[in-house]
Amino acid sequence: MAELLQRFSGNPFTTTVGQKIEQATDPSLASENWALNMEICDHINDTDEGPRDAVRAIRKRLQQNSGKNFTVIMFTLT
């Protein structure tokens, strides 16, 4: 039960897909990393918790950078 609570209230970037989303939206990237984006898609499709974890990480990334970093927003929405 504690693990379940951690998943819903914890840092979404501690999950595998969350870490990949964080890497794919790094503001220091010169352009989109399409290979990593495809890995993220594969992970979302291959695991039961992938879609939920991805939505949490994407939402958090957008909230953290709203009005601050256009590059991160663009990579997050890609």
Q: Is a pLDDT exceeding 60 seen at residue 22?
A: yes
Model confidence, pTM: 0.84
Class of domain 2-77: mainly alpha
Please give the full DSSP string across 43-70, using - where no structure is assigned.
HHHH-SSHHHHHHHHHHHHHHHHTTT-H
Task: Please check the confidence at residue 7 and state whether its pLDDT lies above 60.
Answer: no
Q: What pLDDT does 10 receive? A: 82
**Tell me: the pLDDT tens digits for 42-75?**
999 999 999 999 999 999 999 999 999 999 999 9
pLDDT band, very low/low/confident/very high, at 39 (cuts 50, 70, 90)? very high
- What value does the mean pLDDT take over residues 12-27? 96
User: How far is Cα 8 from Cα 2, in angstroms, rounded to an integer?
Assistant: 10
